[in-house]
Structure 1
Amino acid sequence: MPWDGTQLRLADIDPQGNLVNATILAGNESEAVNSPVWSNSGKLYFVSDASGFWNVWESDTKGSKRQLVSESAEWAHPMWIVATHLLRILDSGELVGIHGNPAQEKIAVIDPNTGTWRDLECNLTNFAHLSVYQDRIFAIGGGPKVLSALVELTTTGTTDAEVIAQVAAPIDQEFLPVAQAISFPSQNGRTVHAFMSPATNPNYESTELPPVMITVHGGPTGNTSGVASIKRAFFTSRGFTVVDVDYGGSTGYGRAYRETLKGQWGVVDTEDILEVVAGLVANGLADPSRIVIRGGSAGGYAVLNGLVHSKVFAAGANYYGVAELIMLAEDTHDFESRYLDSLIGPYPEQKELYIERSPLTHADNLTSPLIIFQGSDDPIVPPSQSQAFRDACIKNGVKYKYFEFEGESHGFRKSQTITTCAIEELKFFGEVLGFVPAD
């Protein structure tokens, strides 16, 4: 995958438009390179994780290169889409990049001669896009109280960013929780990261520990952050503390953290989620009898694994989660066609491991209530996988609800579907935990 190993190549173009004299400037099977950008002087700048973190490098056309920026922080995001480009160059020759981790990212201006940088003032904490025009800097990002905004920054960094456009929250700001970055020790000396968003409603005060909702991101090579989320606020405003887990394999914490999931999908992510739960309980942040788990796609896979391999969750919500891995390995889209080779092992050579890691193999262990949401046209996780877990609930005598939405695919798009899911999920958890959800 692009975050595992990529090459940066330089070639000439002959009169017929063919690429000739190609040379490799950087990258290999264990080095991921992205965001190349040319300077007016003919230098090529790019981001590489050769040091263990995605840092900024410089190369000439002969392949002589040096690490320009050295920091134990990321200057890039995983290339799930080609347009993920977070390194730019100004007319002045200075570079602009984004660096940090999921808890806090900064926009910085880099001196290409010294490799030193200065952070620019901005009230946003995480960024998705970066662009420049002459010596003007533009970025799209979010923050604890900002869903998404387009901002312009000055290169001096002496004034705060100017907001050009902003997505307005459909609720009052005081209902938006401020997420706190937390971490706990995990298996084999690892540390697992997470974000805890407390139950937040200015109209109510609680005298008891609120129920905790563990949320698992998809990918699995993805991450979460503390950026304001209406989906998160829907639950925190109704009394849940929401904890988003960046299990081992998540991006934003360096290559070593990302690679803990290599060959261990279904193991490390499950272990880390359970360690976060244990840490919350041990620190008096969660009532062990009122913890639920939710997630979609790879996050849904983690939900199912958490339910069949432990008894710590009062209930779960599975959104089009992977239940059976062989089907995913044999029939998926081009981009992820060999993704599982690194996450689990080569298929079909490791077929038995695929069977063992499939939640459906262990469905007889399911005892916790489960609500399932599925799209009828999902090409990645077909309805048959979710239906199999629905049938397992029936067989085991487990409380369940199953929703299949006509015309929806892998990731719901229709507003009515999304609204229905949120309402039904809250209602289901209320039935399990013994409360009547507020409107």
Structure 2
Amino acid sequence: MSTPEPYGAWPSPIDARLTAAHDGRPEFVTHVGDDLWWTAPRPGEGGRRTLVRRRPDGAEESALPAPWNVRTRVVEYGGLAWAGAPGPDGPLIVFAHFDDQRLYAYEPDRPGAEPRPLTPVSAVGGGLRWADPVVHAAQGEVWCVLEEFTGEGPGDVRRVPAAVPLDGSAAENRQAVRELDTGRHRFVTGPKLSPDGQRAVWIAWDHPRMPWDGTELKMAEVTARGPFTGVRTLIGGPEESVAQAEWASDGSLIAATDRSGWWNLHRVDPATGEAKPLCPREEEFGGPLWRVGQRWFAPMENGLVAVVHGRGSNRLGILDPDAGEICDAAGPWNDWAPSLDVRGSRVTGIAAGPCSGYEIVELDTVTGRARAVAERHTDVVDPAYLPHPEERVFTGPGGREIHATVYQPRHPDRHGPEGELPPYVVSVHGGPTGRSAAVLDLGVAYLTSRGIGVVEVNHGGSTGYGRAYRNRLREQWGVVDVEDCAAVAEALAAEGSADPQRLAVRGGSAGGWTAAASIAQTDVYACATVIYPVLDLAGWATGETHDLESHYLESLIGPLAEVPERYTERSPAEHADRITAPFLLLQGLDDVICPPAQSRRLLERIAGRGVPHAYLTFEGEGHGFRRADTMVRAAEAELALYAEVFGFTADVPELEFQH
């Protein structure tokens, strides 16, 4: 029998340490020979990422012990940090090590083998960094993206496709790295070699565009020793985003481009650039290229194409490009990561569902059977404590649609007192060009199992709903996102699902911006949790962030020289006098994307104004918390904020507020 108890105070088996232990997901799964490899998080080991190897008999092992950390800092958000190829003595693995950003080669089956460096260290600025590698063993090279800092500023940097010799001759000699292009573009992905070895393609773009605004698919002829020749643009431009391109085994070229308003697959003629849609739908077959090396589709040897596709939620399907038809894989997964690998008739990916975290799933396209083969989800608590996501569409200003996922409080033995409505937390994703997926998240369950509802808002500007929805945020950041979140919160209150007096907003990075802007611009929320946020637009636009996003505000806000008043009007740091709601501010001290200076600036301006607030900083943490102790402290502090403001008792340390 269920017992009434105040919302927020329900006893829960999901504590902060449990959520931290299950934070993160496997990434970048690939076969090397008969073995399956991927990277996996280790929050209890300082937040490093290790390489995991699964042999054909199912045995798994961590292939790299601590302190090896397989992670690249290219464009700061990183991306694909490793590659492998079968060799006569077992696999050859090439990976980027986070601590020094060098590329290393490793042959784990050789007795006594240790990783050996392939690239040098540079003391200039952020040094030399590498991403999106592909091993070309026959040529004795690994092709990748080279990011090279030329000075101390975040914008003193160049990026080129490059070839690194596998013999180690470049380990102490930068000149031994073969640059494959001249650096004509600010941003590039790793080059893909055609099956005949004659041509290569890659994606490039330049400031002020972001990759979901406009990119170019480049093609060139391959030479044996020097740079590529005959470099040209096949498709793309300022208002066309090419998210991925791949060669099929027959030598044809397939690309995901949003020229129709949706990222759809097209077959591109390498000679003329003519692009023919393979399966035109108002669905996405690609996504925002935040991280170099993401893969939403993968051509198969039989001419079919494995695709991640959908509108909002996505699924794995097999596309027949001649018929334009898709057969979707059955199973409980409704979000597939942009990480697909094909081997014969089998497709491997990383997927999660409403009742399961991200696991490695294999689809046998002959039998149609899909099954989790590694990182399998196991219920660490009784599923009765887990919320059921409800994907909904709300109505915003002007009648516009707002996509959101609602997680109602859920507990097998507790319910709220009669006449009491639950508090709700409006959760905002980062990006802001991102999306929250309706999948199991113990961070959400940490709140809902205690009687606090959560709604994740995919506001205008989010991906997964076409280019028009994405473009709603152009010059409207701090307006559309704030309005959409408020509209969803108020709708939940109006329908009787949420207590209008106990609404909170929370988010990290761009979501932290929206959370801070929301309490500066509206009176909807009783409190806010603001995590490694953007707070001062003028500072962020003039050297306080990294190169990738240094011109992002030109599309999100408008050119600073033309509309400087917007930068002032929308910045929470400029309007500390408008903030009256209590807030918690969490900041990594090594964050170069949203640096601590922005947080300190807000705190200086709010000091002495009587607004309760707490500021927690974390040594060794950057943009996105990775260490278990950090995540535990952050989760408990957030719950303590809600307990103090919403008026319930929680089993976490109390926050020490400043005023």
TM-score class, shorter: over 0.9
1:165 aligns with 2:375: yes
* Letter paired with 1:180: E
Name the SS of the counterpart of 1:121 in structure 2: coil
Q: CA deviation at 1:355?
A: 1.4
Does residue 113 in structure 1 map to residue 317 in structure 2?
no
When structure 1 is superposed on structure 2, of 120-129 and 198-207 the one drifting more is 198-207
| SS of 2:445 mapped into structure 1 | helix
Q: Which shows bigger deviation, 201-210 or 331-340?
A: 201-210
Shift of 1:378: 2.1
Q: Does 1:259 align with 2:468?
A: no
Count of paired positions: 438
Show the counterpart of 2:634: 421
Contact 2:508 2:532 in 1 (8 A): yes
Tell whether the 8 Å contact from 2:534 to 2:598 is kept in structure 1 after alignment.
yes
Structure 1 unaligned residues grouped into runs of 5+: none
**Alpha-carbon distance in structure 1 between the residues aligned to 2:300 and 2:224:** 31
Cα deviation for residue 68 of structure 1 reads: 0.9
The answer to whether the 8 A contact 1:120-1:157 is kept is no
Does residue 69 (structure 1) correspond to residue 292 (structure 2)? The answer is no
2:567 is matched by which residue type in structure 1? Y
Change (3 A) 1:190 1:156: farther
Tell me by how many angstroms 1:169 deviates: 4.8
Q: Contact between 1:232 and 1:242, CA under 8 Å: does it hold in 2?
A: yes
Deviation track 1:212-246 (CA, whole Å, cap 9, x = no partner) reads 01111111111101111111111111111100111
Paired residue for 2:365?
A: 155
* Identical amino acids, percent of aligned pairs: 39
In the other structure, the counterpart of 2:556 is 343
Q: Distance in 1 between matches of 2:510 and 2:237?
A: 27
Distance 1:308 1:61 in 2: 52
Find the residue that maps to 1:194 and give its secondary structure: strand
Corresponding position of 2:293:
83
1:201 aligns with 2:201: no
1:271 aligns with 2:483: yes
What TM-score do the two structures reach when normalised by structure 1?
0.96
What is the aligned counterpart of 2:607 among 380, 394, 406?
394
Q: SS state of the match for residue 231, structure 1?
A: helix
8 Å contact from structure 1 (residues 147, 169) kept in 2: no
Q: What is the aligned counterpart of 2:239 among 30, 37, 41?
A: 30
Q: How far is 1:167 from its partner?
A: 4.5
| Residue in 2 that maps onto 1:133 | 343
Cα distance in 1 for residues equivalent to 2:553 and 2:357: 33
Match of 2:258 in 1: 49
Larger RCO of the pair (alpha carbons < 8 Å, separation 6+): 2
Q: What's the offset of the Cα at 1:323?
A: 1.3
Q: Which amino acid aligns with 2:550?
A: S
What CA distance in whole angstroms lies between the structure 2 residues aligned with 1:200 and 1:20?
61
User: Residue 316 of structure 1 corresponds to which residue in structure 2?
Assistant: 528
Task: Give the corresponding residue for 1:188.
Answer: 398
- Residue 349 of structure 1: how far off its partner (Å): 3.7
Alignment partner of 1:284 out of 496, 499, 503: 496
- 1:404 aligned residue (606, 617, 628): 617
Per-residue deviation, 1:105? 1.3
AA of the residue aligned to 2:356? V
Q: Deviations over 1:136-168 (max 9, x none)?
A: 110101111111110111214643434333244
Query: What are the ranges of 5 or more consecutive residues in structure 2 without an aligned counterpart?
Result: 1-209, 653-659
Name the SS for the 1:336 alignment partner: coil
- Taking only aligned residues, the RMSD between alpha carbons, in angstroms, comes to 1.7
Aligned to 1:370: 583
Shift in Å, 1:412: 1.7
Seen in structure 2, the aligned counterparts of structure 1 residues 211 and 66 have a Cα distance that, compared at 3 Å, is: same
Question: Do the aligned partners of 1:214 and 1:292 also contact (CA within 8 Å) in 2?
Answer: yes
The CA distance in 2 between the partners of 1:409 and 1:218, in whole Å, is 15
Q: Which residue of 1 aligns with 2:46?
A: none
Match of 1:245 in 2: 457
The answer to whether the 8 Å contact 2:243/2:287 transfers is no
**What's the CA shift for 1:376?**
2.1
- Counterpart of 1:8 (choices 210, 217, 235) is 217
Q: Give 1:392 shift.
A: 4.1
CA contact 2:279–2:321 (8 Å) conserved in 1: no
Which residue is 2:52 aligned to? none
Q: Deviations along 1:331-390, whole A, 9 cap, x unmatched?
A: 211211211111111234432221112112221011111111112222233323223333
* Equivalent position of 2:133 in the other structure: none
**Contact 1:249–1:259, Cα closer than 8 Å, also in 2:** yes
**Aligned equivalents of 2:634, 2:225: Cα separation in 1:** 55
Greater radius of gyration (CA):
2
- The 3 A distance-change label for structure 1 pair 313 and 431 is same
Question: What is the aligned partner in structure 1 of residue 567 from structure 2?
Answer: 354
Residue 314 of structure 1, CA deviation: 0.8
Q: Secondary structure at the match of 1:260?
A: helix
> Is the Cα–Cα contact under 8 Å of residues 152 and 164 in structure 1 kept in the other structure?
no
Pick which of 388-397 and 328-337 moved more. 388-397
Structure 2 CA distance, aligned partners of 1:85 and 1:384? 35
Q: In structure 1, give the amino acid aligned to 2:226.
A: G
> Structure 1 pair 232/402, CA: closer, same or farther in 2 (3 Å)?
same
Aligned amino acid, residue 336 of structure 2 = F
| TM-superposition CA deviations, 1:7-39 (whole Å, max 9, x none) | 112221245433222332211110101221112
Separation in structure 2 between the aligned mates of residue 294 and residue 29 of structure 1, nearest angstrom: 33
